[in-house]
């Protein structure tokens, strides 16, 4: 039994040993309910407060701007639906390449009288600036554009977009779950440019699943998604998941400490990976755009993505054929469709997302396994023809 | 060696059982895959662990695993059940029925539904804390779509007549939701027999981790809900969001242990609770809140008359107890649950909830009894009211001067 080489960090990451160690006391002796007034409760409250400060510090926000949720999906739902509930229906603009947990709530609002504007991207996966300006002319009330895409890793120029959105008076949200820990994310600077809310998730950055945060400019009025008890300033009720929140705090701290060196190291690995992929005849998606240092999204013509990742899994390499959440869906990626990629090529899409534990040897090994698999699959195709 | 403060607040939250924590850890470290990842073994292993846990949760309550939907906790389950059902059935009717002693997660959700145009009846309970079935029947209307009644009350531990309410609801085609956050591991729950359509569960009240819960959604007859969280379509579209594998595994193990051990455990806890009650009953003017028979063995809620509640809590700092539920204990308001029982403010104010659990010992109970005897005696010595009562003055006849 050998451990597979994990190259799917955009789907989820292992919790860092330091994160697990920090969580353990809250899964044993420090078990209080943070709302209890006795010492067990107060200890839990202190732990939640400390974690809140760490999460805030990691993204350049104030602790009072951090609202803990059960995950990135909930944070995105809370912002989109919560803000809409406090406004009269109007135009809602979200990029066409958003994660389903932004797109689906937006489609829900469409059923309740909102007009949904899907912001177009160009062939590189970047928001098309001139079409964005036109969309802003329709005076949206809520705009949501992800900072970095989970499939392509393409990073948007948010400050520029937010500046352009500013005159509309819209609430501007960004899903930054894939960006934190990989590129610099500074809510104060983004906020100054006109971004009002930002989502960050623990399990994408070496923290546990089950904790995330919506970082929120307090001018935004939100209706909570989950009522009952008034936790998190009334924006999110429910007993705090203390252990996961503590883990989230430590993961944020580590992500900031490691980011610069890690990004540099991953960029080098990504370069080697891309060099090898080109040698296999791969098409790299979004390669002309600024991308996360850890993500490579590619397709090899006439090789089915699902089949390829299946073979790679058996060879000991865990990669993804699309976003994890929609992997069960055999339709080609909505992100590639928005980029105008031909469906046949899109069906070949494979995502490699590197992380803290990956090494140059692993990348080299992956390329060898890939070459062998591709040769075999193409050989089979040739025989079938 | 006695560890202070002594934890007697198991209804606020329970420690994670060491056996549960042990099962969770590998899913944080080496088995960390996203259960939604379809392309590699790490994802499949996580998914298999999630499904095994789902079976354990279903087994404790005699349901089908396909009827269990993961959520982030009972509060979310309650929100999903009430809003999801009401919004789905809005075309059929707009009236809901619940009880004044429900948890805030129900009451606040009902308030929100009222703002959305629904109408909610909040029923009184009898002075023993139980719902009167005649009062209940009288509240039902042709346009009633959803009823929500908790299984076990979080403050006074009384067990509502869920089976009877279920029969009434089913016969009238009304959806019945039950908040069972305080019930799992304490009372037998048989969803094959109970006519319950939706039931909320929590892990952290039953020695599992915080941050995970479930909603039972009956399949036969099929219950449909409007989803409240949208995204990747996890949990058959009922609830999107990456599943927190380690927490789910923890809930499964906690519920498995509850199923295996609740029989013996509840007898042990009942003996400790009775020991506590007996030890306190020789103090004058103590009143048990809520029915003692139709009650979980873990709970003892007592009012100590002529003692000021805040001073009492300060005086017994060696005991980690609460004066209401944890969620509302930040406020100094007397418990709305006790007021619904008809307790006047003074008695509601001087109440303490003792909730016992898996790790409570006889030694801890004896320490608590001795401490309470000592402190209540001392606080009453300082109380002018107590002095008047000792002199035979009927306080209800006293004309108080206004200040």
- For residue B14, the distance in angstroms to the closest alpha carbon of chain A comes to 7
Interchain CB distance below 8 Å, A100 and B41? no
Confidence at residue A1, expressed as pLDDT on a 0 to 100 scale: 45
Across the A/B interface, how many CB contacts are shorter than 8 Å? 269
A325 is a catalytic site residue: yes
Cα–Cα distances (Å) from A52 to A5, A21, A55, A60, A351, in that order, read 33, 18, 5, 12, 32
Instruction: Out of B21, B204, B231, name the one closest to residue A239 (CB).
Output: B204
Return contacts of A263-270, CB within 8 angstroms, 24+ apart.
A263/A182, A263/A183, A263/A293, A264/A293, A266/A182, A266/A293, A266/A294, A266/A354, A266/A355, A266/A358, A267/A293, A268/A360, A269/A354, A269/A358, A269/A359, A269/A360, A269/A363, A270/A294, A270/A295, A270/A296, A270/A354
Contacts of A8 in chain B (CB under 8 A): 34, 37, 39-40, 42
CATH of the domain spanning A17-253, picked from 3.40.640.10, 1.50.10.20, 3.30.70.20, 3.30.365.10: 3.40.640.10
Identify the closest residue of chain A to B13 by CA–CA distance. A33
Which B-chain residues 340-399 have CB contacts (< 8 A) with chain A? none
- Yes or no: say if A246 and A26 are a contact pair by the CB < 8 Å rule: yes
pLDDT over 50 (residue A26): yes
Identify the closest residue of chain A to B235 by CA–CA distance. A325
Residue linked to tokens 């789905």: B88
Instruction: Out of A3, A243, A324, name the one closest to residue B209 (CB).
Output: A243
- For residue A133, the distance in angstroms to the closest alpha carbon of chain B comes to 27
Q: Which of B140, B271, B327, B388 is catalytic?
A: B327
* ipTM entry: 0.94
How many residues belong to chain A?
385
What confidence tens digit (pLDDT) does each residue in B7-31 have? 999 999 999 999 999 999 999 999 9
Interchain CB distance below 8 Å, A27 and B16? yes
pTM for the full predicted model: 0.95
| pLDDT lower than 70: segments of chain B | 324-332, 400-403
Interchain CB distance below 8 Å, A327 and B245? no
pLDDT over 90 (residue A197): yes
Q: Which of A86, A101, A252, A325 is catalytic?
A: A325
Burial of A280 (0-12, 13-18, 19+ CB in 10 A): middle
Instruction: Out of B108, B232, B320, name the one closest to residue A38 (CB).
Output: B320
What confidence tens digit (pLDDT) does each residue in A294-338 have? 999 999 999 999 999 999 999 999 999 964 444 455 678 999 999
Contacts of A41 in chain B (CB under 8 A): 12, 320, 326
Helix axes A129-136, A158-166, angle to 10 degrees: 30
Percent of all residues in chain A with a pLDDT value above 90, rounded to a whole number: 92
| Separation between Cα atoms, residue A286 and residue A354, nearest integer Å | 17
What confidence tens digit (pLDDT) does each residue in B200-231 have? 999 999 999 999 999 999 999 999 999 999 99
Tokens representing residue B24 in the block: 């969770």
Reduce the DSSP state of residue B177 to 3 states and report it. strand
Report the top-level CATH class of A5-13+259-384: alpha beta
Percent of all residues in chain B with a pLDDT value above 90, rounded to a whole number: 83
Identify the closest residue of chain A to B244 by CA–CA distance. A209
Reduce the DSSP state of residue B333 to 3 states and report it. coil
| Separation between Cα atoms, residue B133 and residue B11, nearest integer Å | 26
| Separation between Cα atoms, residue A107 and residue A111, nearest integer Å | 7
On the question of a cis peptide bond just before residue A207, with omega within 30 degrees of 0, the verdict is no
Helix (H) / strand (E) element for A375: namely helix A360-384
| Separation between Cα atoms, residue A376 and residue A378, nearest integer Å | 6
Tokens representing residue B137 in the block: 């029947």
Confidence at residue B327, expressed as pLDDT on a 0 to 100 scale: 47
What confidence tens digit (pLDDT) does each residue in A214-245 have? 999 999 999 999 999 899 999 999 999 999 99
B314 close contact with A: CB closer than 8 A? no
CATH 3.40.640.10 intervals, chain A: 17-253
Interchain CB distance below 8 Å, B240 and A101? yes
pLDDT over 70 (residue A79): yes
What confidence tens digit (pLDDT) does each residue in B121-160 have? 999 999 999 999 999 999 999 999 999 999 999 999 999 9
Return contacts of B130-135, CB within 8 angstroms, 24+ apart.
B130/B158, B130/B160, B130/B161, B130/B291, B130/B294, B131/B99, B131/B160, B131/B161, B131/B165, B133/B161, B133/B164, B133/B165, B133/B168
Contacts of A320 in chain B (CB under 8 A): 37, 39-40
Confidence at residue B402, expressed as pLDDT on a 0 to 100 scale: 60
Pairing of strands A317-318, A295-299: unpaired
């Amino acid at each position: 039994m050998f451990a597979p080489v994990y190259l799917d960090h955009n789907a989820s990451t292992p919790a860092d040993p330091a994160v697990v160690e920090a969580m353990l006391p809250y899964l044993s002796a420090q078990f209080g309910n943070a709302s209890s007034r006795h010492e067990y409760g107060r200890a839990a409250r202190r732990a939640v407060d400390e974690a809140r400060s760490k999460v805030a510090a990691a993204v350049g926000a104030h602790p009072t701007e951090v609202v803990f949720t059960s995950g990135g999906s909930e944070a995105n739902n809370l912002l989109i639906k919560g803000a809409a509930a406090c406004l009269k229906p109007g135009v809602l603009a979200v990029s066409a390449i958003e994660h389903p947990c932004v797109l689906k709530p937006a489609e829900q609002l469409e059923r309740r009288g909102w007009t949904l504007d899907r912001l177009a991207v160009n062939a590189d996966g970047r928001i098309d600036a001139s079409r964005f300006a036109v969309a802003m002319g329709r005076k949206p009330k809520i705009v949501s554009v992800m900072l970095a895409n989970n499939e392509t890793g393409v990073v948007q120029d948010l400050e520029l977009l937010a500046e352009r959105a500013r005159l509309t008076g819209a609430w501007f949200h960004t899903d930054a779950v894939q960006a934190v820990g990989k590129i610099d994310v500074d809510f104060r600077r983004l906020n100054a440019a006109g971004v009002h809310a930002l989502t960050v998730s623990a399990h994408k950055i070496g923290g546990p699943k089950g904790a995330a945060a919506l970082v929120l400019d307090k001018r935004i009025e939100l209706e909570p998604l989950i009522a009952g008890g008034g936790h998190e300033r009334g924006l999110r009720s429910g007993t705090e998941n203390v252990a996961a929140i503590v883990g989230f705090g430590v993961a944020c701290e580590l992500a900031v400490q490691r980011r610069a060196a890690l990004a540099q190291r991953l960029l080098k690995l990504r370069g080697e990976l891309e060099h090898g992929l080109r040698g296999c005849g791969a098409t790299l998606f979004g390669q002309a755009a600024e991308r996360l240092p850890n993500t490579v999204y590619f397709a090899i013509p006439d090789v089915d993505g699902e089949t390829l990742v299946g073979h790679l899994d058996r060879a000991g390499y865990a990669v993804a054929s699309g976003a994890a959440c929609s992997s069960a869906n055999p339709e080609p990626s909505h992100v590639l469709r928005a980029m105008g990629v031909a469906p046949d090529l899109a069906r070949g899409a494979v995502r490699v997302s590197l992380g803290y534990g990956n090494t140059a040897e692993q990348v080299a090994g992956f390329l060898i396994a890939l070459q062998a698999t591709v040769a075999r699959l193409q050989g089979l195709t040739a025989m079938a023809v | 060696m006695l560890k202070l403060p002594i934890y007697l607040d198991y209804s606020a939250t329970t420690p994670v059982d060491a056996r549960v924590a042990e099962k969770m850890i590998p899913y944080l470290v080496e088995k960390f895959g996203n259960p939604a990842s379809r392309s590699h073994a790490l994802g499949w292993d996580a998914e298999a662990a999630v499904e095994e846990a789902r079976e354990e949760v279903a087994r404790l309550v005699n349901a089908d695993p396909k009827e269990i939907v993961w959520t982030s906790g009972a509060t979310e389950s309650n929100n999903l059940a009430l809003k999801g059902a009401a919004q789905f059935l809005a075309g059929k009717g707009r009236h809901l029925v619940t009880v004044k002693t429900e948890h805030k997660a129900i009451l606040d959700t009902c308030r929100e539904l009222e703002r959305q145009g629904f109408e909610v009846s909040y029923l009184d309970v009898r002075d023993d804390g139980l719902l009167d079935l005649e009062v209940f029947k009288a509240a039902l209307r042709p346009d009633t779509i959803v009823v929500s009644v908790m299984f076990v009350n979080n403050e006074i531990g009384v067990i509502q007549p869920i089976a009877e309410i279920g029969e009434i609801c089913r016969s009238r085609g009304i959806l019945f939701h039950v908040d069972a956050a305080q019930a799992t591991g304490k009372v037998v729950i048989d969803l094959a027999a109970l006519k319950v359509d939706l039931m909320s569960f929590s892990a952290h009240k039953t020695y599992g981790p915080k941050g995970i819960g479930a909603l039972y959604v009956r399949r036969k007859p099929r219950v449909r809900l409007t989803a409240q969280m949208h995204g990747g379509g996890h949990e058959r579209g009922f609830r999107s969001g990456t599943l927190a594998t380690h927490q789910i595994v923890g809930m499964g193990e906690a519920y498995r242990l509850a199923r295996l051990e609740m029989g013996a455990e509840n007898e042990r806890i009942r003996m400790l609770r009775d020991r506590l009650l007996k030890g306190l009953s020789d103090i004058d003017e103590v009143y048990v809140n809520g029915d003692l028979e139709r009650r979980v063995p873990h709970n003892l809620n007592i009012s100590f008359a002529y003692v000021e509640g805040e001073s009492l809590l300060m005086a017994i700092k060696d005991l980690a107890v609460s004066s209401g539920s944890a969620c509302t204990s930040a406020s100094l308001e007397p418990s709305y649950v006790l007021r619904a029982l008809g307790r006047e403010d003074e008695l509601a104010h001087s109440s303490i909830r003792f909730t016992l659990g898996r790790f409570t010992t006889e030694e801890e109970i004896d320490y608590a009894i001795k401490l309470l005897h000592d402190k209540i005696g001392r606080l009453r010595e300082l109380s002018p009211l107590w002095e008047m009562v000792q002199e035979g003055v009927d306080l209800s006849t006293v004309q108080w001067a206004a200040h």
